[in-house]
């Protein structure tokens, strides 16, 4: 019988933690003990406000506001308001923007009424009421008219349709080509050319 020699079990070797400083890494790199020296680059300097402003100003279509050098200033676009040209009796043309009244003497019937346009017409046939017709613009810029409770009514003539008498105090949209007949007079509309300012036109 063969007897194996008794072997004493060895204790596991505990690893020794070595603290390596930046100087140690430098010396090891100089001696070739490191395959590669890892160098952390310094943080990039923060861009100044002037550099950021100059960079953004060079972007196409993105001008930077402010009073900096080279800053481009653009004027605010003109605001376009609803407007139309009223052609009365095929002769008189009135450019309007906003609400208004038409009649024999609408100013006396509505003193200080706050309307942008008050148009008085001659009434040789005695068919026109003092305030015969009211007009204005809808939310989409379309022109509307209404019979202001006149004595002889208002008629709308639209190509391809029979003539229709307007219901008093009810707005009716006027389309291009329509003719409004009221008190011995006629009214047609034409589009206004160009931009119209915010203030009512006389």
More confident position, 120 or 39: 120
Question: pLDDT tens for residues 65-90?
Answer: 554 544 455 665 555 678 999 999 99
Average pLDDT value over all residues in the chain:
79
| Distance in angstroms (rounded) separating the CA atoms of residues 171 and 189 | 16
Of 25-34, 35-44, 96-105, 150-159, where does mean pLDDT reach its minimum?
35-44
* pLDDT-above-70 percentage for the chain: 65
| Distance in angstroms (rounded) separating the CA atoms of residues 182 and 164 | 12
Q: What is the pLDDT of residue 11?
A: 66
CA-based torsion, 131, 133, 134, 136: positive or negative = negative
| Distance in angstroms (rounded) separating the CA atoms of residues 24 and 21 | 5
What are the structural domains, with CATH classification, of the chain? 84-191 (2.60.200.20)
Question: pLDDT tens for residues 113-158?
Answer: 788 899 999 999 999 999 999 999 998 889 999 999 999 999 999 9
More confident position, 81 or 35: 81
Unique residue bearing structure tokens 């003109």 = 78
Angstrom CA distances, 3 to 6, 9, 19, 177, stand at: 9, 18, 48, 126
Q: What is the pLDDT of residue 5?
A: 62
Q: What is the pLDDT of residue 21?
A: 73
DSSP annotation of 184 reads T
Among candidate residues 39, 45, 70, 35, the one with its CA nearest the CA of residue 56:
70
In the chain, where do the E strands start and end?
A: 84-88, 92-96, 100-103, 117-120, 133-137, 143-147, 154-157, 164-165, 172-173, 179-182, 185-191
């Amino acid at each position: 019988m063969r007897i194996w020699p008794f072997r004493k079990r060895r204790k596991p070797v505990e690893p020794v933690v070595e603290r390596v400083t930046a100087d140690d890494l430098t010396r090891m790199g100089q001696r070739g003990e490191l395959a590669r020296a890892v160098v952390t680059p310094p943080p990039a300097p923060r861009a100044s406000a002037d550099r950021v402003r100059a960079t953004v100003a060079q972007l196409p279509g993105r001008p930077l506001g402010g009073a900096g050098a080279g800053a481009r200033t653009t004027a605010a676009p003109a605001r376009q308001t609803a407007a139309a040209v009223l052609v009365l009796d095929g002769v008189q043309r009135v450019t309007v923007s906003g609400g208004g009244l038409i009649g024999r003497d609408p100013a006396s019937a509505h003193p200080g009424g706050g309307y942008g346009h008050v148009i008085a017409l001659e009434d040789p046939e005695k068919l026109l009421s003092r305030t015969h017709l009211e007009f204005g613009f809808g939310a989409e810029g379309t022109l509307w008219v209404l019979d202001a409770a006149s004595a002889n009514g208002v008629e709308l003539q639209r190509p391809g349709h029979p003539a229709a008498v307007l219901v008093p105090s009810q707005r009716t949209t006027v389309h291009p080509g329509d003719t409004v007949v009221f008190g011995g007079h006629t009214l047609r509309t034409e589009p206004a050319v160009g931009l119209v300012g915010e203030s009512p036109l006389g």
